[in-house]
Amino acid sequence: MLKGHQSWHFAGRPKIISTATVVGPFEGQGPLSDDFDVIHGDLYIGQDSWEKAEKKLLEESASLAIQHAGLTKEQIQFFFGGDLMNQIISSSFAARTLAIPYIGVFGACSTSMESLALAAYIVNSGGANYALAGTCSHNASVEKQFRYPTEYGSQKPPTAQFTVTGSGSAVVSLEGPSGSPVLTSATIGRVIDMGISDPFNMGAAMAPAAVDTIQAHFRDLQIEPSYYDLIVTGDLSKVGYEIANELLERHGIPIKQTTYKDCGMMIYDYEKQNVQAGASGCACSAVVTYGHLLRKLRSGQLNRILVVATGALLSPLSFQQGESIPCIAHAVAIERGG
């Protein structure tokens, strides 16, 4: 059901009946390592290219999520997937392997919540019994496409972010085990462009989009930030997080820093891992949410969370032509199941 101008309320209360998270070796050295299902020790993951390795990550997380749900891939009606590669090849090629009816989506790093919102919508409307949402990213493939190849060894400014190598997938259904996290609403963001064109400062570019979607969510649902135990953006990291806090205060949105965090600041250890401003990539909010945050929901440490995944909608071509970076954020509300 439509709520307000750009939000959906899921009256059927679709459930996340299973998830799976697969990450690379660097992510396995971070503070959330215990919350991931698989930690690979090799960036190539047995493949002969970074791009094939990224595809493999999504194939693994999707297959594991289906397995954790006690289902077969033939029982999944639709797969919503996307990534950062040109023409979302990682997801499309993974969909070729999975052979599940596929709806490819592109929201850059907001794809985790975009795909989850769409999966929830189609299940809630009766359009599917089971839907799969998944996304992935790989540090080496993304760096090669959008900035400089890893082998080039270029130095990065403090505003730069470190792309997460990993993949997260979730199976959504109206029927599921008691205690499964429940999807209650989603807010679809607008494209916001503040004229920033520096691909090494994504946090600053995406922060206004995050705040715009957060503001729309509270307006449409007619609730206050205190409704949630935790609100997370992903992935603004240090620079964008500070800007978002300033904008939230300026717009009179009373979010306390104790209940507002950013996925890009959670997955790595700033003291031990050289990640500049923090994490980025489609997998960032996916693995933090489907691994760390949902574990806290299932254990009762959290009851209600709002995940606001952010994305920079640039391409190598638009950057080369001097275009600014349009950005977007999609929010999904998840509550502890009864």
Per-residue confidence (pLDDT) for residue 145, from 0 to 100:
75
Using CA atoms, how far apart are residues 254 and 85, in angstroms rounded to an integer?
37
Give me the domains of the chain, ranges plus CATH numbers: 2-173 (3.40.47.40), 182-335 (3.40.47.40)
CB 171 within 8 A of CB 187: no
Cβ(313)–Cβ(191) below 8 Å: yes
Supply the pLDDT for residue 146: 75
Q: How far apart are CA 168 and CA 64, in angstroms?
A: 10
Inter-CA distances, 89 with 81, 84, 104, Å: 10, 9, 10
pLDDT of residue 153: 64
pLDDT in tens, the chain (338 residues): 999 999 999 999 999 999 999 999 999 999 999 999 999 999 999 999 999 999 999 999 999 999 999 999 999 999 999 999 999 999 999 999 999 999 999 999 999 999 999 999 999 999 999 999 999 999 999 887 776 666 656 777 788 889 999 999 999 999 989 889 999 999 999 999 999 998 889 899 999 999 999 999 999 999 999 999 999 999 999 999 999 999 999 999 989 877 999 999 999 999 999 999 999 999 999 999 999 999 999 999 999 999 999 999 998 889 889 899 999 999 999 999 87
State the pLDDT at residue 157. 76
Residue 101 CB neighbours (<10 A): 13
Q: Do the beta carbons of residue 289 and residue 263 sit within 8 Å?
A: yes
Alpha-carbon torsion, ordered 156, 158, 163, 165, to 10 deg:
90
Number of H helices, E strands in the chain: 9, 15
Q: Which of 67, 72, 131, 137 is nearest to 102 (CA)?
A: 131
The full DSSP string for 98-144 is HT--EEE---GGGHHHHHHHHHHHHHHTTS-S-EEEEEEE-HHHHHH
Q: Taking a C-beta distance cutoff of 8 angstroms, is the pair 130, 76 a contact?
A: yes
The contacts of residue 19 (CB under 8 Å, 6+ apart) are: 65, 68, 168, 169, 170, 171, 290, 291, 294
How does DSSP classify residue 39? E
pLDDT at 266: 98
For residue 208, give the H/E element and its range. helix 202-221
